[in-house]
Every structure is written in structure tokens, then in C-alpha cells.
Structure 1
Amino acid sequence: MKSKHLKISFGLFWALCMIFVMSPASFAETVSSPELSSYTFMVYLNGTDLESEDQGDGTVAGAGSNDLDEMMAIGSEPGVLNVVVQTGGTKQWRNTSISPETNQRWYIKNNEMELIEDVGQVNMAEPETLKDFIIWTATEYPAEKYVLALWNHGGGAHGGYAHDELFEDKSTLSLADIRTALEQASGQSGIAFELIGFDACLMATIETAYIVSPFTKYFIGSEETEPGHGWNYTPIFQKILDDPTISGDKLGEAIAQGFREQALEWDTADETTLSVINAKKIGPVIEALEALVSKAGTDIDEPAAYVEFAKGRNKAEDYGNSGGAHGDSTDMVDIGNLAKQLQNQHPEETSNIISALNNAVVFNLTPPEKKPNATGLTVYLPCKDKEGFEDKLTNYKEINFSPVYTEFIEKYGQIVVSDTTGVELEDSNPASTSDQENSTAGSSNILSSAASAYNGEDITLPSKSFSNSNIRVINFNKPVDANTIFINENIYITNDKNGTSTPFLIEKYELTDNNTKLTLTTKDYFEPGETYSIYIKKDISSKEIKSTDGKTLKDNYKMVFTIISEDRFEIKIKESDISKVNMIYSVLGQYYDNNTKIRFLGMDNDVDFDETTGIVRDNFDGTWVQLGGQFVSLFLMDENDGKYSYSVPIKLNGQDMDLQIIYDTNTETTSILGAWKGIDPDTGLSDRNIIKLKAGDIITPMFYSYDLVTDKDEDIPGEPFTVQDPTKLELQGDYLPQGEYLYGFYIEDIAQNDTCSEFVDISLLD
């Protein structure tokens, strides 16, 4: 038996040898390693609502499917580029080849997706899932260089990245989870990345760079929220095919450039930030940051130093700030801009931060209009979200970022949270205890004159006004010649201060009410107590109103008037609290329903604040902002060099949104960025979709309302309107309708405490 067994075994062995000899190709395929490519590009595509959200027309958003289309426009090329994608995390895919019931791994070819493996339904927000994808891809598709793109929502340092909408816990892949996945993948496979990037919002943080720095040469991410289209993968892959030896920093730059070019096509360029970081140069930035907070951490024990540091923090540029009616904040602040705001207090430390940051940031997209101070990296520093500080701190400590910095933000955050007093006010002025009456043509900034004879005599015109107006309204007792009025050389205004006549530049005129009412707008402002002269040419045939030297004034009618100061609503902040003021807003409300309810029209910063005396005065002129011909509730978010960012709560086609708007006072132009849902309260992740307005959209302005009888509040709709041409939609001021209004001041201090003044009732009359 034994010899027979040996004989059979020998026969089998001989047969197998013959097969291998006869089929060398089959043998090579069985035992050889996969072909080594120049690049393997991994995309961890966690679809969530970016893919599945219902668009209201029977379709889904399909942002992930759109990016897959961009990938397939180029696809893989054997020996050069492998494009490998894992899909999952969403309830429905627009690309029907992908199953929402399971996670799948795909090899992307030109115009084709090849399903390689089905791994079952696993949570895309678990580090184990990410680790397995990295190891599997590195094993199956080895390359000289690897890229990992993490695709989904982002929430900054404490919010992490992505949640899986197929799982109810709403947990995200935290930075600590990402480190775990990368550590285990690196330990088990030996993989090192050329570039790790986040095609997601708010992930260009120094904490993220710190987490990925042991595993990659370069890192790319966005400081601000990303528009829904995200990166453009077509030019990225083409760049690799054109230059298979391309380095991670140059590839990152190509990603950023393609991102901006697509944003220009999609009209989202005002929202785009993207920076490429040399991960090996993050250490000096952290060291410089530690030096700053070590010094500041000692200084803030002194109240004055705390106030100055907090002022700098409040002024520095923030990211992921919902504000408006759906207020929330990630408290992620630009590191370079923070250093700039603190440079007077800590010149050496902030200079070192800026120098180290410039060395680490190898490419930074030109900052957009929305966030002009983006320098490449943010850091978590408590400010606006006092209520969420403890939860954010707990998440933050799990990162194991710099112990020095973590200790500082815990100390500083606790000081801010415990500071609950707010600023105190002196006794209100008499205007706060009595009603004010204003006409919509003669209140606040509008200077209104009494009717006067147009007879060529010197006339002193009584005028009541608030100061700093540049508008003059003149009422005539008979019609005037429109041709006379509307020729530029026919009107001349001088300020007769100190016996001299300084000419005013007139910007525009308006003759109304059957040619009996003239409204002049000047470049300069009329001031209380000053005397002015207006010269108007008698008729067209008479001589010029002024000679070339601008001094000879003859053959014209002359009117002299003196601006008389009128009481303005004012408050006074206690001297000891003046330095603690961060922002002062005017708040306007409108009575309705027989004056039993108030709807609030919003907040603006058009107030006069004397930082020496602490006096705050109103600039209310009887007007408010309209959009699409309807008054809206307006909330000021921030201001940079005359560019004001506003948030307007609306319903867009029935969905609650905040309309993001920038108004440039330098050019008097409006930029409507789009509608945004803000920060998800369950996941802490920022909505990536800034929805552009289109013709046919229905906008319903929303207002916060308070019932004086029941002591209850609610959000109420205003008058809806349909967008005709979104490019012509602008913020425009207009006079409020006749009625009863409420006006007051809202003061925010450096610790985000709010103080409300007494409110005054204002009657606006036709």
C-alpha cells in the first residue's frame, strides 16, 4: 500500500510539473506580485446626504456620483495610475450601479467602474473601515506614491470628518479615529503617503496636519466650508498621467487650481479656500504657537491682558460660523490672522508664528471675498460657542495635540465661560423713556427743510436732523425748472465755516413731487451747528453759477441754512466696561397684530460709538433692507475692509436656510453667495452645499416673533417672492411703511455676553 501511494503521488507531481512547463504564463500570473504603478489614488467616498438628499423633483443630490463621473473621464492607466474608490454611507446613489445596501470597492477606468469587492454594510465612520480600505488597496494596487482623499463633510478639529447616515448613532470619524486608522494601516502594510487630503469642509486645521504628519509628506484641506461640487478629479488624474513623477506639493497645487477653476464655472469661487501643507514642517508652527500661548497663558491672569487677548481673538477671522437665525460656531480661527491681531501684545511670538506658517504652507489659494484673511491653517480657540465649550474640549483632548496648547485653551475657555457679567450701562437718556416720532421722509439721517419761497432772497431754513447726514431735502412753494436743476453746473453747495466757503461735491439729485421737492446727495456730510449755502441757477440762459476757480457765485438764487442738532437715542456704557465691548448692534422690531406682537427685522452695526466717553447713538433713518422688494431679517456676521457679511434667515423652496450675502460699501454692490443650512446640531459637521439661487426659486423671508400677551416666541414667514434673475437680486434700502416700531442696542462683549439697552418706540408717519 505504501509503495502504491508513493507511485500515485509521484505521478501527480509529474503531471503538475508538465502543466507548469506547458503553461508558463499561467504560472507567472499565479505567483507574481501586482504590477507596481507610479501612483495609487484612494478615494474614501462616504456619500451621506451629499449624495442622497432629495432635490424636490424626484432626484437626489448626487454629489458623489458627479465626482465619480469626473474620475471616469480619465480613469486608471496600468503601470501609471490606479484610481480606487470605496463607496458607502448613504441611503441612495444617483449612480444606480452602486448599491446603498453595502460598501463596495471599485477600480475606476476610463468611462467605466469595475466592481472589485463587496465588503458588506460596515460603518464608514469607524476607523477599522478606513484602515481595511487602505491596507487592501495598498496590497492589491501597489505604487511608488499613494494619495488618500477623504470625501464627505468636515467639522474642524473637534468635529472630525464624516458620519454614516445608515447608522443611527451619528458619530463621526474623529481626528483620533483617523490617527488610529493610519497608524494601524501603516504598521500592517508599511504604507507611507505622498499626499493626504480632505475633500470636505473645515479640515485645514493645524490639529489635522499634526495627526496626518507622521504618515504623509503633504496635506491638503480647506479652512472654510467647501461648495458641494468639491474637487474636480478630471484635471487631477490628467496631471498624474502627464507627469507620473509629480511630487505631492505640485499635485496638491494642481488639486487647488482645478478646484478654483471649477468653482469659477459653478459661480462658487467666493467660498473656496484650499491650502497645501508640508507635513514635515508642522512642528515649528506648533512650537511657535506654544510659545505664544505660554506667554499669553500667564498674562491673561491679569484682567487687562485678558481683555486685550480676547479682543484679538474676537477680531480674528473665524470659519464655519453659522450665525444668523441658525447660529452655531466651530470656533476655528485662522492662525496667521490671529497672530496679526495679537502682534501688538506679543510681537516676537506672533512674528515667529507667521514665519513658521509661511514655511509650512507651500500653496494657498488666493483668499476669496468671503474670507479675505485666510493664511492656510486654522486652530481651535474658544470664542463664540460658550455653551458647547465643554463638549468641544472633551473631543479635543482625545486628539492628544500639544499638551501646552490644550492646557491653554482649557484655561482660557474656562475664563471665557465663567465671564458672564456683560457690560453695564449708565442711566438711559430721556429718549429711552418716551416715544419718538419720525416721518419716513424726515427722520434720522434725512435732512428735511420747511417749505420756502423760491424768490432769490436769503432764507434760513429750519432743519432737524441727526448728525453726519449727506442728504438734503428742499421743498419749494412752486415748481422749478427741471432743466435748471439737473445740469451739474447749476447747483453749488458750500460749507461757510470760519467765513470761508468750501465747496461740496454733489453726487446726485432727484426732483420729485411735480418739481417742488429737490433731494441732494453730497459726498461730504452735513454737521450740526454748521452753516451752509445752496446756490441754484435762475435759468438756463444766465451765466454759469461758478467760475473755473469755484469762488465766483452770481446770477443765482441763494439759500442759507444751519443744521440744528436733534435729540438722538443714546446710551452710555460704564467707563470701566468700555474696553470690554466687542460689537454694538442696532436692533429693530416692528409691532403688528394690534401692537400685541413684535417681529424683529434683525441687527446691524450702523451706530455711532465714542470709545472715549462710552456714548452710543443711533443712526436710524427710517429705512431697512429689502431683498426682491421684500423687507428681510438681517444679521451682520463680520466686516472686512468695508465688506459686510450678512446672514438672512429664509425658507428656500420650503426648506429652512440662511442666505449668505456680502455687501461691499466701497463699490455699493451685493454678492449673494447662496443658501446654507449651517452646522448640523447632531453631528457638528458643516453643510457642504451652498445652494446657488436660480430663476423660479421661491424665497420666504423668516422673522423671529415675540408675543407680548402670551410671552411666547416663534419664527414667522414674511411675504414670499419668486427669484426672476438671481444676478440682479440685491440688498436695497427703502423706507419702512407707516407704523409702530421698536429700536434699541444689543452690545456683545469680549466673552460673548450680551447686554440689551432699553428700547424706544418709534412712530413712522407718511
Structure 2
Amino acid sequence: MNNRPRSREKNVTSGGGNAFERTSSRSSLPIGEKKSLPAILMVVLAMILGGGGFSLSSLLGGTQPTYTDSSSTTSWSQGDADMSSINTNVDPASRSKYANIIGGGQDQVTVMVYMCGSDLESRSGMATKDLQEMANATLSNKVRLLVYTGGASRWQNNVVSSSTNQIYEVKNGQFSRVVDNDGNRAMSDPATLTRFIKYASTNYEANRYQLIFWDHGGGSVSGFGYDEKHQRPAMNLAEIDSALTNANVKFDFIGFDACLMATVENAQMLSKHADYLIGSEETEPGTGWYYTDWLTRLSTNSSTTTLNIGKMIADDYMSHNKGNYNTTLSIVDLSELSKTLTSPFNDFAKSINSMMQTDKKTDVMNARMKSREFAQTNRIDQIDLSDFAGRINNDEGSKLSSVIKSAIKYNRTNMMNAYGLSIFFPQSRTNKIDSMVDTYSKIGVSDEYSKAIQNAGTLVSAGQSVQGGDSGSFGQLLQSLAGSETSGQLAMQMLTQMLSGQNLNISGLSNRNTKFIRESTLSKDNLTQYVKSHQLDNKKLNWVNEDGKKKLKLSESEWKMIQKVDLNIFYKYNNGYFNLGEDNIFKFDNDGNMIADEDGTWLAINGQVVPYYHVSTQEKDDDYTIIGYVPCRINGVRNNLILSFTDENPKGKIIGASTIYNSSTTETNPKINTTLKQGDRIDLLCEYIEGNKKSLKVFGNMLSYSKDIKISDVKIGDNKMIRTYHITDLYNHSHYTQSY
């Protein structure tokens, strides 16, 4: 019974749930707009939830929140990812370092900070806080610190302008403006970055150059930077490469005080421009890097090795964010990685492609869904490559994992199975595969790996196509109604049409972004037979009453097809239903059968029931971390309140909040605000379904944040409720148990 997910431990306390609408519905959606439901699905919901001719007891469905992705990772581990000392070993194949360190404190260092303030500054003053940390450093004449500013509609200080880009030199605790007006330039334009680097390297010549990107990051898919003053999208990896190439400067290190930029793709691209990459695999806490101490240390001895500088940055980063949301920072030796990665990475990709030509497709996708994933609420499909390679469990994976670990000279993390470098591998965002393959061709990532993500995306799409296409819960709600399940013959016909480029009935896919299916090297006949024999049968998702309990009985092979399980509750209110979210609450009997939760309780904060969505579960032996979020407004701004449940604190705690953006605004990821303040107002937001309308309601009593806030489970109330379990298979397709 190794394929069973872990449940959150309930902590039931007394009290009522207060499940009611506090005010009329307001438009408090992600920055940007939220898609409305297709009309036909709203009609179906109206009929079911409103009692219009369908029995509530026959409901098979639920609703999936816009930003949720839940997974459970088993106890596989390659050892502790958090490093206590620097790995000073250097592979003999490594190229020579670009930076020629003179030694004896005689080196001249120019540190360039490319600071796109964005809403991190205009809302929270995070850039100003880091500027103050820089000013607090004791800098010598051997270290010149330059900051290029822009991208924020408002700066929370009386120095930096919001109307024009500027360049400042930080010295003697002061900000000296060396370029007063560099125009109103988009910070996500690579030409702006090139312009800054050329200015700094020309006017502040040095033998050691260091570059830091400061803002939002979106990983390999989206790149860097959200300029709230300009409509230009983020600077993707190919554009960063172009900017650095045109600047024609080699760097000691390039760092990202931004989310999700410690990726293999980024490292391979940057290896042409720098000796080291310093970055995070995960979303960063809002406080980000701490600048004072390492800048002071570098000024004390400008010949301090890059690894020692990086270690101080990483250690300070962890200590100043202690106890906060999942935190990582790694130092990657690009001079080594550039010479050692190519062959084992290519061999590993070939082995994946070979496995996907056989029934070992299941092994590949199980390894994918159990690997450490980052930014799961945003579903960017970035996983730890070393963890993934190890889970594939072949010689090629072991060799690749060893090469990666050798190139990562220092890694600080409080996350299990986060070894320092992530990579894109599709499961949720198949619509990004074509753009990633295009990026790979521009920055020189393995063609064999491009084939691997094309094949994986084709497999996921094929599995979804057979089930009717839409992996979202409302699409599945419609298909789960009596008589609407896709027949075997029709399913195979739909799959054949999908593989030939016709009838692309999968949400987010069209002929414009499915080149990966047409170029996939998977055998269509083999794929068809595989998908036909590897499907989760919805007819088996009915409860069996046994020993006075509702039980779900599935085989071991069927459990192997399942990547996540969450309880979904709809609570009757007036003429509609509140969707209270999804929580990993269940039990198993001695035979491995799942037992339904029936006690009528739900997660609450200070006794107030909250809408809650389980995001991820990570396990290592008896250690575990469960992350989820509560949709809300904090002081009027749309956020997700982030909750953590661990083996050390199973009752849970609030560890931060994340601002919500619509993808039309930016696809980069926000830093996590870990500095919630005493008295911050928290208005809960809950999805409400009534008739043919779905809206977001202000829910229950307002909460006031305090450090002693309590999380527990309480009775929801006496109104009717509908419960179902949302089960997601290895194709990222949604299934729903019989409701009860």
C-alpha cells in the first residue's frame, strides 16, 4: 500500500462555523479578470445544486479553484538537501573561470543591482528596505555598488523617482544619483538591461563584476521581471541571454533576488556569461536577500572567494527568513556545469524517451508527479531535476543526479528534496511546451530533452482526451452525470482525432500551441493501446457501505494511477452553495480502502470556517509538510493566506501570504509576504454557486491577524452539505467520487 496519499491530521475543537455571506459579492479577483464558466456548465450546476430535476445524492462533481495543484510525494530521498559546508571540489573538466581574482584584497569589484521595483515596492516598500540594507553596509573604495531603478508606479522613499529610470551609486551610507534621467524604459526590455551593464562596466571598470536581478521571477517558462508601468511581458531566458551577450561583460556571479530562477535552463544559458549562479528554486519570501553583511565582508576583503560570498548570502537569506514559507537558495558552479552536464543530461533524456515508448510510461509520469515541485499554486511545472532523475531509477538518472550535485557548491533549504536546480517538465501547462521548445533552441538546451517534454505532453494530452478533454472540475462535473461518460469506442475515436491534430478538446490547447503533439516521437499505436489500458474507471468511484462506513475500494494498479486526493465540500446557503474548497482529509483501513470523512467539520481560523485549498504534501520517512491556502483580501488586497502543517506542528500555522495576479498582468510569481502585521484585516473570499451564476463572496466574520491565531477544525453548521472527493490521475485529469 505504498501508493496511498497522506492525510492532514484534524484538530477538532468546539464552536460554530459561521458559514455565511457577510456582504454582497464584490469584484475581488486576481489582479486582472477571472474567466466565467461556460453557459452550459452553469445550467448543469443550476439543475444539480438547485435541485432542478436531479437528485443531490447522484452528484458526481465539485469545483477546482483557479490556483490549486495538489500532490503527494513519497519518502524517496537522496539525502539531506541542506548543506552545512561548501563543496570545494572542482571537476577536472571544468572550464577556467572568467573572473581573474588577483588576491590580497587588491581586487576591484563592481556590483550591479537591476532593481525593477514593481508592486513589491509600490505596495510593500520591499525595494526600499533592501536599499536601506545596502546603505547600511560599510563599503570600501574597492567595492562600487550601482543600482538601476525603475518599474514601480510609486517608490516608498523620497529619493527614487517613479517617473523615470535612474542609476544610483551607494556609498558612505548615502545614495548618489549618477544618472538622473535614463528615460521611461521598460525594465523587462532586454535593451534596458544591456544599457545598464554597459554604463556600469564602462564607468566603473573592475576585474570582478557581479550582477543581481531584483523583482518577481517566473522560472524557465516566464523569465524575470514585472514592470507595473509598462505592458511588456517578462524578460524570457532568450531575451536575458541576448541582453547579456550585447553587453559583452563576463560576471563573477549572476544572482536572482527573485522567485524560481535556479533552473537548469537558466544555468545553461548563463554559463556563457558568468562563473556562478545564485538563485532560488522556490518562490522567495518577500524579505528576499539580506544585503548588509555580505557587502561589508566583501569590502573588508575584495578578494573574498565567490563561494564564500555566496555562502554568506545564502546563510543570511535563511537566517533572516527562518521559519518562513518554503525557502531555498543555491550556488551553482557554471564553469563546471557547462562542461559536465551535456552528455549525462542528453543520455537521461534519451532514457526517458525510450521508457515512454513502452509501458514504462507509468514509471516516468509517477516519477514526475512524486518529484519535488515548486510554485505549485501557479502550476508552472518546475520540478527538482536531481530528485526527478533519482526517481526514474536508472543508471542515466543516477549519473545525472551526481553531476548536478557536484556542480551545486552550496545549497540552503528548509524543503525536502530540493537539491538546488529545477527544470520544466510538463503535467499541468502543456500549452507552454511549444514556447519552451522554442526557448530551448535559442539558448542551447538538449534537443533530446525537447523531445522528452514533447512526448510527456503528448501522453498527458492523450490521457485527458480519452476522458473528454477538459481537466477542470466543471468540465468533469458535466461528464460525470448519468449517461454522459465517454464510451470506450468514442474515447478511442477522440484520441485518434487528437493525435492527428483534429478535435483538440483540451482546455488551453489549440492548433496554435500543439506543435509538440505533431512532433512527438511516440508511436501512435502504442500510445493508443497504453492509454486504453491505463485509465481510471469512473464507475469504480462509488462508495461501498461496510462496517458502518463509506469505503472506496480500488486496486493497487489503480492507486498507482492516482496522484492526489482531496475532500471537496459544498455547503447550502440561501438558494445556492458555498464551495468550501479541497482538503486532504481521509483515512484508510487495514486493507488499503479509503474511508470517507463524514464528521461535518472543516478547517477554521479562530473558530471561523475558512475556504481552504490543499496545495502540496511532501514526505520523508516520518517527516512531512502539508501546504494549503485560504483565498482572502488582506487590508483590501487580493491574496492567498498560506498555511503549513508539519510533523512538528500538525495543528498548523499561518506562514505568509501571496498576492494573486491574473496571467494577463504577469506570469511571473510574487514573493511571499512573510511579514503579516498585528491587526492586519483578513476578509475571507469563498466561491458561491447559485442558479447559473458563480461568484466570489465575502465569507464569514472578518479576521484580525495576530501571532497567536489558532487553526483547528469545527462544525460547519446545520445546513445541507454535499461531499465528494476530487481525484486527479497521472494525466492531471480530474475524477470525482459519488457524492454523499
Q: TM-score, structure 1 length as denominator? A: 0.69
**What's the counterpart of residue 599 of structure 2?**
621
Deviations 1:244-300 (A, max 9, x none): 111212111111122222223xx63x4321100100122323432322220111211
Amino acid at match of 1:315: K
Distance in 2 separating the partners of 1:362 and 1:677: 33
TM-fit CA distance, 1:623? 2.0
User: Which residue, 398, 408, 411 being the options, matches 2:455?
Assistant: 411
> Are 1:334 and 2:384 matched, yes or no?
yes
Distance in 2 separating the partners of 1:248 and 1:281: 14
Unaligned runs of 5+ in 1: 1-35, 54-60, 323-327, 433-465, 467-564, 761-766
User: Which residue, 556, 569, 585 being the options, matches 1:606?
Assistant: 585
TM-fit CA distance, 1:374? 1.1
User: Which residue, 179, 190, 194 being the options, matches 1:127?
Assistant: 190
Deviations 1:701-752 (A, max 9, x none): 2222222xx23222222212332532x2232122332231111121100011
User: Which residue, 408, 417, 422 being the options, matches 1:378?
Assistant: 422
Q: In the TM superposition, what are the counterparts of 1:545-624 in structure 2 within 5 Å? A: 565-566=547-548, 568-572=549-553, 577-593=558-574, 596-608=575-587, 616-624=594-602
Change beyond 3 A, Cα 1:757–1:116: same
Contact 1:37 1:82 in 2 (8 A): no
User: Which residue, 352, 356, 377 being the options, matches 1:300?
Assistant: 356
Distance in 1 separating the partners of 2:541 and 2:137: 69
Distance in 2 separating the partners of 1:374 and 1:248: 22
User: Which residue, 679, 699, 705 being the options, matches 2:688?
Assistant: 705
**What's the counterpart of residue 635 of structure 1?**
613
The secondary structure found in structure 1 opposite 2:108 is strand
TM-fit CA distance, 1:418? 2.7
Contact 2:139 2:296 in 1 (8 A): no
TM-fit CA distance, 1:575? 8.4
Q: In the TM superposition, what are the counterparts of 1:218-237 in structure 2 within 5 Å? A: 218-237=276-295
Change beyond 3 A, Cα 1:679–1:281: farther
User: Which residue, 179, 201, 205 being the options, matches 2:259?
Assistant: 201
Change beyond 3 A, Cα 1:610–1:291: farther
Deviations 1:162-209 (A, max 9, x none): 13222223x1111111111111222xxxx3211111111100001111
Q: In the TM superposition, what are the counterparts of 1:282-321 in structure 2 within 5 Å? A: 282-283=337-338, 284-302=340-358, 304-321=359-376
Amino acid at match of 1:152: D
Contact 1:586 1:743 in 2 (8 A): yes
Amino acid at match of 1:342: I
The secondary structure found in structure 2 opposite 1:739 is coil
> Are 1:177 and 2:239 matched, yes or no?
yes
> Are 1:361 and 2:408 matched, yes or no?
yes
Change beyond 3 A, Cα 1:695–1:623: same
User: Which residue, 701, 705, 723 being the options, matches 1:743?
Assistant: 723
**What's the counterpart of residue 307 of structure 2?**
249
Change beyond 3 A, Cα 1:90–1:700: closer
**What's the counterpart of residue 19 of structure 2?**
none
Q: TM-score, structure 2 length as denominator? A: 0.72
TM-fit CA distance, 1:691? 4.5
TM-fit CA distance, 1:606? 2.5
> Are 1:655 and 2:658 matched, yes or no?
no
TM-fit CA distance, 1:341? 2.4
**What's the counterpart of residue 93 of structure 1?**
155
Contact 2:542 2:737 in 1 (8 A): no
Distance in 1 separating the partners of 2:725 and 2:590: 16
Change beyond 3 A, Cα 1:655–1:397: farther
Distance in 1 separating the partners of 2:255 and 2:591: 49
Distance in 1 separating the partners of 2:235 and 2:651: 41
Contact 2:540 2:554 in 1 (8 A): no
Amino acid at match of 1:601: L
How big is the alpha-carbon RMSD for the aligned residues of Structure 1 and Structure 2?
2.4
Structure 1 outlier segments of 4+, above 6 Å: 610-613
Distance in 1 separating the partners of 2:455 and 2:628: 32
Distance in 1 separating the partners of 2:216 and 2:364: 32
Contact 1:75 1:83 in 2 (8 A): no
Distance in 1 separating the partners of 2:542 and 2:147: 67
Indicate the structure with greater strand content. 1
Q: In the TM superposition, what are the counterparts of 1:138-149 in structure 2 within 5 Å? A: 138-149=201-212
**What's the counterpart of residue 30 of structure 1?**
none
**What's the counterpart of residue 72 of structure 1?**
135
Contact 1:429 1:569 in 2 (8 A): no
Contact 1:699 1:720 in 2 (8 A): no
Amino acid at match of 1:698: R
Distance in 1 separating the partners of 2:425 and 2:183: 40
Contact 2:376 2:616 in 1 (8 A): no
Change beyond 3 A, Cα 1:393–1:250: same
Aligned residues between the structures: 559
**What's the counterpart of residue 103 of structure 1?**
165
User: Which residue, 708, 711, 719 being the options, matches 2:700?
Assistant: 719
Change beyond 3 A, Cα 1:581–1:610: farther
- Greater radius of gyration (CA): 1
**What's the counterpart of residue 687 of structure 1?**
670
The secondary structure found in structure 2 opposite 1:173 is coil
TM-fit CA distance, 1:679? 5.5
TM-fit CA distance, 1:88? 1.4
Distance in 2 separating the partners of 1:430 and 1:126: 56
Unaligned runs of 5+ in 2: 1-105, 468-535
TM-fit CA distance, 1:215? 1.6
Change beyond 3 A, Cα 1:309–1:67: same
**What's the counterpart of residue 537 of structure 2?**
424
The secondary structure found in structure 1 opposite 2:360 is helix
Q: In the TM superposition, what are the counterparts of 1:251-290 in structure 2 within 5 Å? A: 251-264=309-322, 268=324, 270-283=325-338, 284-290=340-346
Amino acid at match of 1:759: S
Contact 2:379 2:428 in 1 (8 A): yes
Contact 2:253 2:306 in 1 (8 A): yes
Distance in 1 separating the partners of 2:648 and 2:211: 43
Contact 2:544 2:552 in 1 (8 A): no
Contact 1:424 1:573 in 2 (8 A): no
Contact 1:221 1:275 in 2 (8 A): yes
**What's the counterpart of residue 491 of structure 1?**
none
**What's the counterpart of residue 539 of structure 1?**
none
The secondary structure found in structure 2 opposite 1:41 is strand
Distance in 2 separating the partners of 1:574 and 1:664: 29
Change beyond 3 A, Cα 1:428–1:222: closer
**What's the counterpart of residue 215 of structure 1?**
273
Deviations 1:142-181 (A, max 9, x none): 1121101111110001110013222223x11111111111
Change beyond 3 A, Cα 1:669–1:101: same
Amino acid at match of 1:51: E
Amino acid at match of 2:423: V
Distance in 2 separating the partners of 1:750 and 1:300: 14
> Are 1:48 and 2:118 matched, yes or no?
yes
Deviations 1:431-483 (A, max 9, x none): 79xxxxxxxxxxxxxxxxxxxxxxxxxxxxxxxxx8xxxxxxxxxxxxxxxxx
TM-fit CA distance, 1:678? 4.5
The secondary structure found in structure 2 opposite 1:168 is coil
TM-fit CA distance, 1:339? 2.2
The secondary structure found in structure 1 opposite 2:695 is strand
> Are 1:164 and 2:227 matched, yes or no?
yes
Contact 2:356 2:455 in 1 (8 A): no
**What's the counterpart of residue 351 of structure 1?**
398
Contact 1:578 1:611 in 2 (8 A): no
Distance in 2 separating the partners of 1:286 and 1:630: 54
Deviations 1:196-233 (A, max 9, x none): 11111100001111111112111100111112222111
Change beyond 3 A, Cα 1:576–1:67: closer
Amino acid at match of 1:634: Y
> Are 1:757 and 2:737 matched, yes or no?
yes
Change beyond 3 A, Cα 1:427–1:248: closer
Change beyond 3 A, Cα 1:724–1:158: closer
**What's the counterpart of residue 732 of structure 1?**
712
